[in-house]
Structure 1
Amino acid sequence: MIQTDPKTAQPDAVVFDIGNVLIRWQPEEQYDQWIGPDRRRQMFGAVDLHAMNDRIDRGEGFRQVIDETAEANTDFRTEILMWHDRWLDLAQPAISLSVKTLHALKARNVPVFALSNFGRETFELAKTKFDFLSDFDRPYISGHMGVIKPDARIYEMVEADCGVTPDGLLFVDDRADNIAAAAQRGWRTHHFVSPEQWADHIIGLGLIEGSDL
């Protein structure tokens, strides 16, 4: 295991969440454009689509889960099927400055990992649109791991595989519960609010310089 002094040493690796850190993920906003806010509010109030997506992120079949949900909620069948058929329109656009931080870290030979709640099939689909998703040194994708954040098990699996001690990992995520779970294990964390704050944070740590971006 790589040993670090948390008081003085830089992180040994940076761990990126993907949704709302590298790629914008706001399904409600997309559905507002597709079917209008009123219909969208009715659908999201009647059907827990985020719980549906959690099933996909845990590794269940993309098409199977959405078809099953659509058939169980026939009043919104057509709209629910859009989650599958227009998925690449749900996950967009890339957050440009965050992507630049990923590439800047790699250019300085800082290992970069992904730790993301993402389905097996949806991650492969996303890689066809976003080339940078193939740039991670180690991608930890929940659909392949069978567990989602913030379950402690997913962080344990990362630690066991990557060979970096918890205090050597710097984890950036937009969700406070995911950050808290990592921090409980001794990971360094940054709660993502904006790409500018994130860039300033890693510049302040000396991992990159402003001129890298």
Structure 2
Amino acid sequence: MSKLYIVPTPIGNLEDMTFRAIRILKEVDLILAEDTRTSGKLLKHFEISTHMHSHHMHNEHKTTENVIARLKAGENIALISDAGTPAISDPGFLLTRACVENRITVECLPGATAFVPALVNSGLPNDKFVFEGFLPEKKGRQTRYLELAEEVRTMILYVSPHKLVKTLSEFATYFGEDRQICVSRELSKMHEENRRGTVKEILAHFENTAPRGEIVVIVAGKTIVKEAKKNKFQKDEE
């Protein structure tokens, strides 16, 4: 029976590639890659010669139908992104959904993704959290901030380096300057950095030091301690 494999690739350190991922990529009939030039370097490093086709956010609506047809014909296909786990802020959801609708087996391998180490490294509560990925660029951005300002769970966001200072300034407006955050850069790479502190402190740092590399920001949820104490006091008074 044919199968679609969702295969995570390293977010920086090539040693994070799993033996199973390498085997699957060598055995499948076709690899769908977000950027064949970027993935070509990875495949060459691990001596993987499987043919690749481009599958990215700009063409996935057009290519999905053809991929489903090939899977129905009996081929095994692997989907990879430039880095991390496909479908996590990368192409993959549309194809996975189409496979499920067509009763084609989907198997996602465990592996690298940026937000898990960033969350753990932050030191902020991780028993409950919400993954936001990239916030809307313009339309709906303010509305989303107003909603997140009331979120009590730890929040995970992806931020482009050239938008980090602007985003941190928005944090100060909507979350307050004293909200605890952690900015993780270049995870698993030589210059990995996890900078923790208040929004005010982290903003001041990156206003003086231009941020570079892939960035994950972890934001503490809104504290409800004061409100809980207030409710308890009112209950005791009754």
Question: By the TM > 0.5 criterion, same fold?
Answer: no
- Shorter-chain TM-score bucket reads 0.3 to 0.5
| TM-score, reference length from structure 1 | 0.34
The structure richer in helix per residue is 1
| TM-score, reference length from structure 2 | 0.31
Compare relative contact order (CA 8 Å, sep 6+) and give the higher one, 1 or 2. Answer: 1
